[in-house]
A = this chain, B = another copy of it.
Amino acid sequence: MGKIKSVKFKLNRFEYVKPFHITNNVSYNTENIEVIVELDNGVVGYGEASPSFRVNGEKVPALLGLEQIVNEMIVGMDVRNYRQIFDVTDKLFGAPSIKAAVQYAVLDAFSEEIGVPVYQILGGAKTKIETDYTISIGTIEERVEDARKIVERGHSVIKIKVGENLEEDIQAMMAIYEVSKGCKYIVDANTGYTPKQAVKFVTEIYRAGIDIHVFEQPVAMNDVEGLKYVRWNSPFPVAADESARTKYEVMRLIKEEAVDYINIKLMKSGISDALAIVEMVRAANQRLMLGCMAESSLGVNQSVHFALGTGAFDFHDLDSPLMLKETEFRGKYKVDVPYYYV
């Protein structure tokens, strides 16, 4: 037996170590919602929602209002039949971060109940992954300084935020390269460019002899045609992030041949759609990376186990807990920067 007795939401607030600046958005802190699923035998499972208004249209006060609704949906259901619970909670597509946290808390409770870690329930494909670290938007000097520190800390994959100023971004990219040669780069415009600006960016970087491993979400969220334009005119692989939330959106991107990479984030898709996206993208012979919103160690724990279990990802952009001030580490994984492992 493993029937759900209650689901509780708890608001947790975390400050960023330093302000996090991406296209048209600066964050100083984040409010995440811890989801606690308790079974009738006392077993407890944990999840965390890190909401995004920009990507998911989510606001914390609205999400908190779903606590009772979620209880009505799944109390009494058995976590051993987790796909039944996934099917019910798939209706929460208007609050995908809550869907993710509830679905993961269910898996976590199932895991505790049977004594098998979540990553092995999902297939145990890996035991160790490497996370990148992100340089947010700033002056060229700030970005170069960040790059130096990231290399010093042992990271070999650097994510670079661009998208607010094309000319500065090109200069910044070249300056960062000078202090981080040998690193791999994921460049993320967070919807900031037009298709033509995006192609200019990659063309200039290519001419400078710099390699970009993934060029993320160059254009607007709903511009699938724009993504396709960039993909077909870019020497570097192009990824959808904001454009790839549900499995249905990803199926359309596959059919349109619009991208080379999908960036899965559990906060956009939940566990159920994320599992589907893994299988679809591999069957389409495209590639996967795994990202995060502003999860603490409790939330990134979900992505670490998902990544280890499925083994599906070329790149893991799971640096948010490294950027937040946390009083207690809550992950069921170990950290040896840049590695997460079990």
Partner of A310, one of B83, B248, B250: B83
Mark the stretch among A66-74, A112-120, A178-186 that contacts chain B.
Answer: A112-120
Q: How far is the CA of A248 from the CA of B280 in the complex (A)?
A: 10
* Contact indicator B311/A83 (Cβ below 8 Å): yes
What does the 1/0 interface line of A272-297 toward B look like (CB < 8 Å)?
Answer: 00011111101111000000000000
* Contact indicator A120/B250 (Cβ below 8 Å): no
Residues of B within 8 A of A116 (CB): 80, 114, 116
Instruction: Give min CB distance, A117 to chain B, whole Å.
Output: 9
* Contact indicator B283/A251 (Cβ below 8 Å): yes
Interface residues on A, range: 35 or more
A84-B125 contact in complex given A276-B279, A279-B279, A280-B279, C-beta closer than 8 Å: yes
Choose among A83, A254, A284 the residue with the greatest number of B CB atoms under 10 Å from its CB.
A83
Q: How far is the CA of A247 from the CA of B88 in the complex (A)?
A: 26
Choose among A120, A285, A309 the residue with the greatest number of B CB atoms under 10 Å from its CB.
A120
A123-B283 contact in complex given A114-B115, A116-B114, A255-B255, C-beta closer than 8 Å: no
Residues of B within 8 A of A123 (CB): 81-84, 86
Q: How far is the CA of A121 from the CA of B310 in the complex (A)?
A: 14
Q: How far is the CA of A279 from the CA of B87 in the complex (A)?
A: 13
Question: Is A223 an interface position by the 8 A CB rule?
Answer: no
Residues of B within 8 A of A83 (CB): 122-125, 309-311
Q: How far is the CA of A251 from the CA of B283 in the complex (A)?
A: 7
Residues of B within 8 A of A120 (CB): 80-81
B-facing residues in A129-185 (Cβ within 8 Å)? none
Q: How far is the CA of A254 from the CA of B254 in the complex (A)?
A: 10
Question: Is A326 an interface position by the 8 A CB rule?
Answer: no
B-facing residues in A78-100 (Cβ within 8 Å)? 78, 80-84, 86-87
Interfacial residues, chain A to chain B (CB-CB below 8 A): 78, 80-84, 86-87, 114-116, 120-125, 247-248, 250-251, 254-255, 275-280, 282-285, 309-311
Chain B residue with the shortest CB-CB distance to A113: B116
* Contact indicator A124/B81 (Cβ below 8 Å): yes
* Contact indicator A121/B124 (Cβ below 8 Å): no
Residues of B within 8 A of A283 (CB): 247-248, 250-251, 276-277, 280
* Contact indicator B279/A84 (Cβ below 8 Å): no
Q: How far is the CA of A333 from the CA of B310 in the complex (A)?
A: 28
Q: How far is the CA of A310 from the CA of B83 in the complex (A)?
A: 7
Partner of A124, one of B84, B125, B254, B255: B84
Chain B residue with the shortest CB-CB distance to A257: B255
Q: How far is the CA of A150 from the CA of B309 in the complex (A)?
A: 44
Instruction: Give min CB distance, A254 to chain B, whole Å.
Output: 8
Instruction: Give min CB distance, A259 to chain B, whole Å.
Output: 15
Choose among A78, A122, A280, A282 the residue with the greatest number of B CB atoms under 10 Å from its CB.
A280
Residues of B within 8 A of A87 (CB): 125, 311
In the complex, 23 of the A-B residue pairs with CB atoms within 8 angstroms, ordered by the A residue number, are A78-B124, A80-B124, A81-B120, A82-B123, A83-B124, A83-B125, A83-B309, A83-B310, A84-B311, A86-B123, A87-B311, A114-B115, A114-B116, A247-B279, A247-B282, A247-B283, A251-B280, A255-B255, A275-B279, A276-B280, A276-B283, A279-B280, A280-B280
